[in-house]
Amino acid sequence: MWLEFIEKVTLINYQVIMVILASYGLGCFASAFYLVRWRTGRDIRSIGSGTAGATNAGRILGVPGFTVAFLVDFVKGALAVGLARYLELGSWAMILAMVAVVAGHVWPVQLQFRGGKGIATSLGAILLFDGWTALLLALGFILWFLLTRNFTFSGLLSFAICPCIFIGTRQPDFRVLGSSLLAFMVLIAHRNNLRQEWRRWRSGTIRMPTDKPASKEVK
C-alpha cells in the first residue's frame, strides 16, 4: 500500500500541486466565521463550542445560519474534488484534493489553524468522489442513530468506518489510505466530543434503546 502511494506521489505534476493548494485555500474559507462576523461583529471561536463550523453558527444565528454555513462548506468540498476531476488528474489526485480541502477547513491558516470540524466539507468531497460511499455513510449514520439516539456519536462512528467501506468494496490501496487520512482528521477535530461521549457512555447517560430502566424499589 505504501509503495503504491509513494509511486503515485512521485508522479505529482504542477497541475496536481495547484489543485492541492487551491483545495486547501477553498477549505480555509471558513463560512461560519465570516457569516457570524458579518451578522454580529463577533468571533465565532469565542462563542458556544469555540469552533468555526456550521453547528456553532446555528447556535448563534439559528437554523438559517446553520443552513448557509453547512451548504457553503459542503459545496467547497465538492468543488475541490470536482476541480481534480475536471482536469482529469485521476482518483489519487481527487483524494489529495479531498484531504487538502478538509485540512484547510479544520486548520485554516488565516485563523491561526482554528477552524471547523470538517463534517460538511467531507460529505461534499466524498459525494463527488464516490456517490456510493456517501450513500453507505448516510445509511451507516441512520443505523447508528437508531441504535444510540445520539447525533454526534453516530456521525463520528460513520466516518470512522469509512476506510472499512473502501476495503470492503475492494478499492485500491491508495483510496483506503486517503479515506483513512480523512477519517483521522475528522476524528481529531472532534476529539473533545469523543471524550465527552465516552464519559457519558461510561456514566450510563447514553443507553441503547433496548436497555431497560432500573426497576423502582417496591416500598
**Residue 85 CB neighbours (<10 A):** 17
pTM for the full model? 0.76
61 or 200: whose pLDDT is higher? 61
197-216 average pLDDT score: 52
Residue-level pLDDT at 212: 44
In this prediction, residue 152 carries a pLDDT of: 65
| The residue count for the chain | 219
Name, in order, each residue with C-beta under 8 angstroms of 210's C-beta and a sequence gap of 6 or more.
Answer: none
pLDDT band at 43 (very low <50, low <70, confident <90, very high): very high
Nearest to 160 by CA among 190, 130, 196, 132: 190
SS3 helix, strand, coil % of the chain, rounded to 5?
75, 0, 25
In the predicted structure, residue 209 carries a pLDDT above the cut 70: no
Residue for grid cell 451507516: 140
Q: How far apart are the first and last CA of the chain?
A: 65
* Angle (CA) 104 110 114, round 5°: 65
How far is it, in rounded angstroms, from Cα 42 to Cα 30? 14
What is the band of 195 on the pLDDT scale with cuts at 50, 70, 90?
low
Q: Which pLDDT score, from 0 to 100, does residue 38 have?
A: 94
- Residues 57 and 116: beta-carbon distance below 8 Å: no
Question: Helices (DSSP H) in the chain: which residue ranges?
Answer: 2-10, 14-28, 31-40, 54-86, 91-106, 119-129, 131-148, 151-160, 162-168, 173-189, 191-203
Which DSSP letter does residue 172 get? -
Q: How confident is the model at residue 211 (pLDDT cuts 50, 70, 90)?
A: very low
